Amino acid sequence: MCISVHDVAPATWPSCARLLEMLDACGGTPVTLLVVPDYHRSGRIDAHPDFLRAIERRLARGDEIAVHGYTHLDESPPPRAPIGWLQRRVLTQSEGEFAALPAPEALKRLEQGEALMRALGWPARGFVAPAWLLGKGARVALAQTGYVYTTTRGGLYRLPDWQYTRSPSLVYTVRKPWRRAMSLALNRATLALARRGPLLRLSLHPADAAFDDVVAQWRGFVEAALRTHVAVTKSEWLLERQTPRLLQQPSA
């Protein structure tokens, strides 16, 4: 099982911290933190020492970092096709930053994110596009970087060979009351099916922290899953896929 917290940035940290406190209470599971270098162009993370110290503490306890876009804003020209408009303007509220970037611009932002993490001394082996929208240009650019994995809503890709593992992620949509109610019902119904796959993914977002019913359901999911699954970071799961761990033998 891989648990991730998306949209991690100074502006969202109070909400992220509430989610992480809940996860820690479930047993101190390792978490993949999806860090946005310059969330909504509000200032780079390295200008916020309190945030940096908080992330350092999370890394020390076993969490990992994945780079989550650069600004988390879709500022590319508006989509023309209805499906593109639905994906980029309605469902994701213009936050799918890498949905329509040309390859050179996508590569520039990917390299900027990599450079910032190196400067901070934070190992970041994965990249996840905001809203999981990874356009053609971004895919071309991503193949030229040192990242070893990326994820979409439907699964995880090992890079650079793009080996795919289908593992749909549980996630909530909370912007509207009816969408939140639908997410609560849908996630409850699909958890059992998702647990049968090779990788169970739970994707939490800062907005979830504002709703007690969502946080409570997340807690129940995590506690139930920990009875049947081992919680690992995405990098750890990839490493085990490449070099399967021997079954532990009982001690004499």
pLDDT at 185: 86
pLDDT at 22: 97
Nearest to 131 by CA among 19, 55, 36, 45: 36
Mean pLDDT by 10 residues, the chain (252 residues): 97 98 93 97 96 98 97 78 60 76 97 97 96 94 95 94 93 84 84 86 96 95 93 93 48 31
pLDDT at 38: 97
* CA 170/CA 218 separation, integer angstroms: 10
| 46, 31 Cβ separation under 8 angstroms | no
Q: What is the pTM of this model?
A: 0.90
Nearest to 95 by CA among 116, 115, 72, 113: 72
pLDDT at 252: 28
122 alpha carbon, distance to own chain's centre: 16
pLDDT at 250: 34
pLDDT at 46: 97
Order the strands of the 2-8 sheet from edge to edge. Answer: 163-166, 155-158, 149-151, 124-127, 64-67, 31-35, 2-8, 201-204, 169-170
What are the structural domains of the chain? Answer: 8-242 (3.20.20.370)
